[in-house]
Each structure stands twice: as C-alpha cells, then as structure tokens.
Amino acid sequence: MRVGSGTALVTASRLDYEGERDHSAADNRVLNARVQLPIGTRWSLALVTDVGDNPRADNPGSLTLAELNANRDTVPVLNRNRNAGKAVTQVQTGATLRRSMTNGGEAALTIFGLTRDLKNPITTTYIDLDRVDYGARASVTYPLSVGALTHRLTAGFDFQRQRDDRKNFNYLNTPGDSAKPDTVRALDQLEHVTEIGPFVQSALELSPTTTLTAGVRYDWVKFGVQDHLILTTPTDTNPDDSGARLMHAFSGSLGIATNPSNNLTLYGNIGSSFETPTTTELANSATGTGGFNPDLKPQQAWNYEIGARGSLGQRVGFTLAVFDADVRDALIPYEIEAPRFYYRNAGSTRHRGVELSADVSLVPGVSVKAVWTYADYRYRSYSFTTDTVVHTLDGRALPGIPQHWLNLMVRAQPAAFRGAWVEVQQSYSSGYFVSDTLSTRADPWWATNVRVGWEGKAGSMRLAPFLGINNAFNHLYVSSVVINAARDRFYEPAPGRNVYVGLSVGAGR
C-alpha cells in the first residue's frame, strides 16, 4: 500500500497444528512490517520489523530403527514426560538509510537489533535463554576508474554485539512431576560476543563482457563468559568458569565472470571463509563444566567454484556449477546423552559436487523446473577416541549428506484455465550414513506433492485459494536424521499423506 510517496507492506500469519507424530504440535505466529520511504531526491529510508511468537513447538524426538518399524508415530517416553520442545518469542527490527551520489556511487548505513526469549525443555535439562543482539553495517561504494577501465570500490565495516543470559536447570524426577524443573541451577552464566568486520570489495570491468571481482575481510570475534554459579560447600565444589575466547582471521575472494554471448555467462570463483562456533556450541561441554569449551576452534575453508548460466532460445534456462571446498577444523556434532549436542573439530574435510538446474517452458502456460545435486563430502583427516577405541575416518563419507538429490516441479496455468493452476512436485534423495562410525544408512526415499489453486479477483479484492496434498502416495520414509545420535536414535520419520487448504487475500488495483 502507499504511504505518502513511499510504500508499506504488513503481513500476518499463524500456523497451528497437532502434528503427524505424538507430541509434535506447534503454534507459530508471525507479524512482518516493511516500509520504504524516499527522503528528498537522493535519500531513502527502509524500515523492517518482524515479530515471532511461538508459544508451543513440541519435540517428538528421534527413533531407533526398532521403534520406527513398530510405530513411526510414537514418541520416546522422556520426550513426553519432560514436555520436550520450546517456546520462543523474538522481536527484531532494523533501518537502512541510503544515499545515491551524482557520480553513481552510494552510501548506506544499517542498524538493527533483536530480543529473543527462549524456554527450551529437553530430556536432560531445562534451558532458559534471554538474548539481546544489536549491530550496525556501514558501506560506501565509489566509482574509481583504473586507467580507461571502469572500476567500483566498496569499503565498509560490520559491528555486532550479542548478550546471552543462559540458565540450565535439572529436573526434580519426582513421580507425576517429571516435567517440572528444579529451582537449583545446573548452569548460570552471562555470555557476550563482540564482532568487528571491516571489508573492501572491488569490481573491475576488464572489457564490456568481462568483470573481475575481489574482496578481503578481517573478522575479529571475542567471546566472553561470566560464571554466576560458583559454589563451595562441604559436599560440592563448582569453580569459577569465567573466561574469554578470541577468534580472528582474514578471508578473501577472487572471481571472474564473462559473457561470450547474450545468452551465456561463464564464471569462476576462489575464496576463503571463516566460521566461529556459536555460543551454544561453545557452552555445551562434554565435561559438564560451565564457561566455554577451550578446545573448540573456528572452522575455516578454501572454496572453489566454476559454472555457467544462460538460456537456449526462449524456452530453456539453465545453471551449472562445479564446486570444491577444503575445510579445516570442521565443526562436527555428536551426542553423549540425547538430545544434548556437543561439538569437536575434524582435522580436515573435502566437499565436492555438481549442481545443475533447468527451467523449461514446454508450451505456453506449462513449465518444468528441475534441480539436481551431486555431493561427495568426505573426511580427509579425522580421528578421535571413544573410551579406549580409536576411530580413524580418513576417506569416509560425511554422515547426513545424500550423494544425489533431485527436485522436479511441473506447473500448468494455461490461459484456458482462467486463473486456475496445478503443480506436481517430485523429490528424491539417495541414502547416506547416519553416523561417523557405524555402517548404518538411511534408505533412499522419494515423495510427491500436488497443489491446485486459482488466482483472480472478486470486486476490488485479489483472491488466491489453494489446496495441497503432501506425500500424495503415502510413502513411508525418513526425511531427516540425527547425526551421531546417542542410543541409536537416528531416525525422524516424515509425515504420511496430508492435506492442507489456504487462502491469500489482497487489495486489488
């Protein structure tokens, strides 16, 4: 809708369902607001606010193979008794002030903030987390010719500050009162993260059809923790686990793109990346102590990609990408006692693959879209010891990654349908390991979704009713797994055949 000389968009949604499995109900409420306002001739202001309230998101947990075969809708007893799940309220907002320059340059300043209130009972611990996060991003893009070559230089910085007030409580374990947390804290700490990231990016036009891009960034991330649970009694000692971790690194990228014809773009990129653990990953220590895991390191990688995108005539569009990533100190999840995840670093991994997509217009109003991914992700150097057993995984495929993934979509909305449309979606996944050390694999699966709808007007209102059938052939399969799960609880079954209806209503023009 119009707001003076600007525009505004407000959307609200609610998803409330019981879920396919026992103890899998959820209630999700979202409010989004967007405002775009021009300020004078060269200034503009964009405002964004999102409010999410999820008072209920039950967690039915993962199953063993025996439980899956006996009753795929069941829920482990502890998940039900402890009311495993989460309730979360999050509010985030941001504003971007932008100014265009007469020479084609641009300056932008973004500020943002969010609050998050999380109550997360899991089977081993009741987690209470309050988060405040805020930050800013500033950048300037300026035309800066290199001889006769067109060149644009962008410089800027990111700043972010996060504060987590984390408390964990054990359960009372009294008959009939299993879900009630004890008032005695198992963990109580205040966590701070400060991130500063200056960056420079360059785009140089070597010719009218070829552009060379380059960039460099420095990330400085400091984690600090203040332990509020320091006890010394005749029967218990809980030392001060306060401390700090500093992680920092340079990363860069270099790429080239060329257009040998109007219908074809060829490109190649090489770059490095830097990813720190999250505060949750650092706080979850297998030793059970507070503070941050002193041994967990950031994950770094060198990434390589070559590809092409273009069209064949008016009816066929395509993309092709071949990629390789060499990852050092990869962050690997594992469980000791479900569902608490812990993390350790692998020495190195290699991720290789191919991504291919096509968009074909068969006849007017009928199109086919297909996406296929081939992924070969393997450990190059990784070993660890469980009890007295040494596991060496060099050359082994990473768990949880299907080697083949295919998604096919056929949509028909010819003019003769008078606004009606139909879509058929077919997905396929090959099997994959579910654990670093076991030979157990998840089976390949496929699923078919069907949707029908209509788009039109009723008076001044735009209406779009629709009906969908997920897993139309009621295929029983496992849609996801818990990697390295404790007690062999790897499997999270997908819902069977289910039907949904919806209606989108908008103001007409």
Q: What does residue 8 show for φ and ψ, rounded to 5 degrees?
A: -140, 150
Q: Hey, where are the domains in the chain?
A: 1-248
The structure's pTM equals 0.88
* Long-range pairs for 395-401: beta carbons < 8 A, 24 or more residues apart: 396/433, 396/436, 397/432, 397/433, 398/349, 398/433, 399/432, 399/433, 399/434, 399/435, 399/436, 399/481, 399/483, 399/484, 400/432, 400/433, 400/434, 400/481, 400/483, 401/375, 401/377, 401/432
In the block, tokens 């029908």 appear at 452
Beta bridge partners of 354: 322, 374
The larger pLDDT score, comparing residue 68 to residue 173, is at 68
Q: Which is more confidently placed, 17 or 213?
A: 213
Give me the pLDDT at residue 63, please: 94
The per-residue pLDDT for range 176-201, each reduced to its tens digit, is 556 667 677 888 999 999 999 999 99
Contact assessment for residue 223 and residue 192, using Cβ atoms and an 8 Å cutoff: yes
**Could you tell me whether strands 456-458 and 264-275 are parallel, antiparallel, or unpaired per DSSP bridges?**
unpaired
- Which residues touch 124 (CB under 8 Å, ≥6 apart)? 337, 338, 339, 340
> In whole angstroms, how far apart are CA 125 and each of 17, 76, 352?
26, 16, 38
The pLDDT tens digits for 236-291 are 667 888 999 999 999 999 999 999 999 999 999 999 999 999 998 998 877 777 88
Q: Which residue, among 356, 372, 361, has the nearest Cα to 411 in the 3D structure?
A: 361
Which string of DSSP letters, residue by residue, matches 405-439?
Answer: EEEEEEEE--GGGTTEEEEEEEEEE--EESSSS--
pLDDT at position 182: 67
pLDDT tens profile 36-57: 999 888 999 999 999 999 999 9
Beta strands in 313-433 (DSSP E): 316-335, 341-363, 366-381, 383-386, 389-392, 404-412, 420-429, 432-433
Other Cβ atoms less than 10 A from the Cβ of 278: the count is 15
Query: Which pair of structure tokens corresponds to residue 207?
Result: 């010719």
Q: Which residues contact 104 (CB under 8 A, 6 or more apart)?
A: 143
Q: Give pLDDT tens digits for 390-416.
A: 999 999 999 999 999 999 999 999 988
CA distance 34 to 426: 34
The C-alpha torsion from 338 through 342 and 343 to 344, rounded to 10°, is -100
Query: Residue 507 — very low, low, confident or very high, per pLDDT cuts 50/70/90?
Result: low
pLDDT of residue 438 exceeding 70, the answer is yes
Strand locations in 208-242 (E): 210-227, 231-232, 237-238
Looking at residue 66, its pLDDT comes to: 95
Structural element, H or E, at residue 57:
strand 43-58
CB–CB of 340/294 below 8 Å?
A: no
pLDDT grade for 233, boundaries at 50, 70 and 90: low
What pLDDT is attached to residue 354?
98
Place 19 in a pLDDT band, splitting at 50, 70 and 90. Answer: confident
Task: Check residue 239 and give its pLDDT.
Answer: 81
Question: What is the rounded average pLDDT for all residues in the chain?
Answer: 92
pLDDT value of residue 253: 98
| CATH 2.70.98.10, domain 1-248, yes or no | no
Confidence of residue 140 (pLDDT cuts 50, 70, 90): very high
Burial of 226 (0-12, 13-18, 19+ CB in 10 A): middle
Q: Looking at residues 64-85, what average pLDDT do you find?
A: 92
Integer Cα distance of 290 and 183 in angstroms: 18
Residue range 155-168: mean pLDDT, rounded: 96
- What distance in Å separates the CA atoms of residue 422 and residue 448, rounded to the nearest whole number? 13
